[in-house]
Amino acid sequence: MNGIAGSDVVFGALPAGTANVLAIEVGLPARPDLAAPFLLDAVPTRISLGALDVGTSRRYFLLMLGVGLDARIVRDLDPALKRRVGKLAYWHAGARQLGRPLERFRVHVNGQDLESSFVLVTRVRNYGGDFEIARNIRLTDPDFEVVIFERHAWLDYLRVVGAVVTNRLYKMPGVTVCRAAEVSIEAIKDHSVYMQADGEELGRVPATITAVPNSLTLLLPKRYAEK
């Protein structure tokens, strides 16, 4: 995708990964052989991409970017375990974080400065194939939904998991949700704060995340593209 961003090349995805978030989001079957016929009848749709700028380096992402806790989980993931047990490897990596101090950082968005230990900058509702954290975003929208977790204790994050499962996250104190086209992140003090985009570790903050309009032609199933 990074190789064709900004071009007229048409991009279609056959799901063959661990979580297949894109397929779940747009309603494709999770098996590539079953998804292929849908792409033959799909609608080429011009969409925005997210762009991560660190210094002079830019990397595009399609789905979501996480800073803080979930990036640390991706960083600590055991690839061999992932090959054996799939998504359970992420739960294993998450359990290893329990009790470890959470690095804090500043999020600048829409003129506000907020302190966080996990922020999700997303273009999709689905998270990890099993949950919805963002609730009001679509790939055909021009911007991001930004979910900022301002609490830093592990008990708060255990409550967050329960709130996600029961669809009460937006009512939780300490959770800020907004729409934005640009988000800036910087560490507090000397903390090493990591980032991940679409499940791939992408280094440390400071960074700027921008929604870049009209960046990719994506094949979308008709029922998603025409909503």
Q: What is the CATH number of the domain that holds 169?
A: 2.60.200.40
Tell me the residue range of the domain where 34 lies: 10-225
Least confident segment among 13-22, 70-79, 121-130, 210-219: 70-79
The answer to whether residue 98 is domain-embedded is yes
Total domain count, the chain: 1
The answer to whether residue 124 is domain-embedded is yes
The answer to whether residue 119 is domain-embedded is yes
pLDDT recorded at residue 74: 78
The answer to whether residue 131 is domain-embedded is yes
Average pLDDT over residues 8-14: 92
The pLDDT of residue 97 is above 70: no
Going from the C-alpha of 199 to that of each of 6, 62, 65, the distances in angstroms are 22, 11, 8
The answer to whether residue 114 is domain-embedded is yes
The answer to whether residue 102 is domain-embedded is yes
The answer to whether residue 5 is domain-embedded is no
pLDDT recorded at residue 87: 66
The pLDDT of residue 156 is above 80: no
For the chain, where are the E strands, in sequence order?
10-11, 43-54, 57-61, 64-68, 105-109, 112-116, 118-122, 126-127, 131-132, 144-149, 175-180, 182-187, 194-197, 200-204, 207-220
The answer to whether residue 52 is domain-embedded is yes
pLDDT recorded at residue 42: 92
Average pLDDT over residues 6-19: 89
pLDDT recorded at residue 123: 96
CB 218 within 8 A of CB 42: no
The pLDDT of residue 120 is above 70: yes
How many other CB atoms sit within 10 Å of the CB of residue 49? Answer: 22
47/156 Cα distance (integer angstroms) = 35
pLDDT recorded at residue 7: 95
How are beta strands 10-11 and 207-220 bridged, if at all?
Answer: parallel
pLDDT recorded at residue 106: 95
Least confident segment among 5-9, 52-56, 136-140: 52-56
CB 21 within 8 A of CB 129: yes
pTM of the model: 0.88
Going from the C-alpha of 175 to that of each of 108, 133, 172, 208, the distances in angstroms are 15, 11, 6, 21
